[in-house]
Amino acid sequence: MPQIDAFRATGVSSTVVANSFLARPTTKVPRGAVWHIGNATEIPDGGIFFALGREAVVKSQQFNEGKREFEEVEQAQAPFTVGVYDKETQAAGILVRPGVSLSPREVATKVQYLLESVGLAQQHNMQIVVDTIPDPQGFIEILLSASRVTRFEFDFSVPNPPDDEKYVQRPLKEYAKRIRATEGKAALKGPSLDAHELADLARAIAAEGDQATASVERTPGSGIEKVGLNLNPLKEPVEPQAHEGAADAILRALRRAYKRVRGTDGQS
């Protein structure tokens, strides 16, 4: 599920992104095919349903009855998948579907090019950045089970998502904005850092698609090793309920997954 960030905002970032989806853009991505966002429509509860696909030419084999010959012909295809953008969390969830579903990072890149091509963000003095949201659970488990954590380093970008961590992330991002920086990196060192505090920060970092690393000693005397956050992209099953459409089911799954990342699902 790609996370969407905007900076230097002079308008409402979630609305700018939503309207960029609703513009149903088409663009040719660098060294790639022509991609489209189509079928974009607003759905209840603050979501934008959309289809994402590309133009493809494939060769098919057939028998020509008139010539009594076998031959290959080119056919145009447009494989696509569907997703939902959530204005509340500024995250998007996209169904994994054969023919379209590249790696999550590649999909995020395609969506970013498409949304930027509309030009709406530029008109509002913004830039749209689409990142994948990693599943932080494995990283957090390492932090909490380690005998000690001696270093924690993380990236941050200027403000956009509405629920960033308020004690560390937000002041750094606000300062970066004041000095007109677009991103930064922070490092914390000590003989034994508080793993539970770091776990809360790691959830917020993951929710924004940023990277974090930690130097940990898994067991006493085992030596220090470096572990990273961005290992596995976040995935969530979509299970439509009775009489529920795909858009509502995707939005529900997206918000469920996002709450789990942020630790606000009551299970973290």
Tokens of 208: 């924004």
**Residues 229-248: pLDDT tens digits?**
976 889 999 988 878 789 99
**Residues 13-31: pLDDT tens digits?**
889 999 999 999 999 887 7
157 pairs with which residues across the strands? Answer: 183
Give the C-alpha separation, 262 to 162, whole Å: 12
**Using CA atoms in the order 138, 225, 132, 250, what is the torsion angle rounded to 10 degrees?**
0
When pLDDT is cut at 50, 70 and 90, the band that residue 162 belongs to is: low
Give the C-alpha separation, 10 to 7, whole Å: 9
What DSSP letter does each residue of 10-56 carry, written as one string?
SS-HHHHHHHHHHT--EEEPTTS-EEEEEEEEEETTTEEEEEEEE-E
Tokens of 235: 């995935």
DSSP, res 200: H
> Residue 110 pLDDT more than 60?
yes
**Residues 183-231: pLDDT tens digits?**
899 999 999 999 999 999 999 999 888 899 999 999 999 999 999 997 6
Q: Who wins on pLDDT, 57 or 172?
A: 172
Angle at 228 between CA 224 and CA 234, to 5 degrees: 150
Query: Do 227 and 202 contact (CB within 8 A), yes or no?
Result: no
**Residues 123-149: pLDDT tens digits?**
988 888 898 999 999 999 999 999 999
What percentage of residues in the chain have a pLDDT greater than 70? 92
For the entire predicted model, the pTM comes to 0.82
Give the C-alpha separation, 80 to 131, whole Å: 20
Q: Who wins on pLDDT, 49 or 158?
A: 49
Q: Where are the alpha helices (DSSP H) in 149-220?
A: 169-178, 195-207
Strand 148-157, strand 212-217: pairing: antiparallel
